């Protein structure tokens, strides 16, 4: 259900950016959502169509890019895509891991007319 709140933010950001650009309408909104954000793209699209109604974003395409999880080892600094929830460096075996990509959720760009 967090998709509804996230989509409110997406529409707000898109409309604000469109208005700042003096746009008559928004053509598309590109969103990056990390794997760990656990968003359902179909839900985002559904809510977007509803929440954008009556704004300059009405009818805009919502393009969603899912960003895969990427971790970095604090000991050997290797970067890797974790294979499971047991975060362990495949190079040195360390468990001192930091997630560096895959948690984000943001509007990357807004295309306007």
Q: Could you tell me the CA-to-CA distances from 25 to 16, 42, 51, 54, 65 in Å, in that order?
A: 12, 23, 15, 11, 22
Does residue 56 lie in a domain region? Answer: yes
CATH number at residue 9: 3.30.2320.50
Q: Residues 8-20: what's their mean pLDDT?
A: 97
Q: What is the pLDDT of residue 1?
A: 57
Does residue 77 lie in a domain region? Answer: no
Q: Residues 3-20: what's their mean pLDDT?
A: 97
Q: What is the pLDDT of residue 86?
A: 74
Distance CA 33, CA 105 (A): 4
Does residue 10 lie in a domain region? Answer: yes
Does residue 78 lie in a domain region? Answer: no
Q: What is the pLDDT of residues 35-51, one digit of tens each?
A: 999 999 999 999 999 99
Is pTM beyond 0.75? Reply is yes
Does residue 57 lie in a domain region? Answer: yes
Q: What is the pLDDT of residue 84?
A: 73
Q: How many domains does the chain have?
A: 1
Mean confidence (pLDDT) of the chain: 95
Distance CA 59, CA 64 (A): 16
Structural domain of 53: 2-68+102-112
Does residue 88 lie in a domain region? Answer: no
Using alpha carbons, select from 110, 109, 98, 107 the residue that is nearest to residue 36.
Answer: 98
Does residue 20 lie in a domain region? Answer: yes
Q: Is the pLDDT of residue 85 over 80?
A: no
């Amino acid at each position: 259900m967090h998709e509804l709140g996230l989509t409110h933010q997406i529409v707000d950001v898109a409309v604000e950016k469109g208005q700042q650009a003096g746009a008559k309408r928004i053509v598309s909104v590109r969103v990056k959502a990390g794997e760990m954000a656990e968003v359902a793209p179909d839900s985002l699209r559904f809510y977007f169509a509803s929440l954008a109604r009556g704004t300059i974003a009405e009818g805009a395409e919502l393009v969603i890019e899912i960003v895969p999880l990427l971790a970095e080892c604090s000991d050997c600094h290797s970067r890797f895509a974790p294979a499971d929830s047991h975060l362990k460096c495949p190079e040195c075996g360390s468990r001192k891991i930091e997630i560096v990509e895959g948690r984000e959720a943001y509007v990357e760009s807004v295309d306007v007319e």
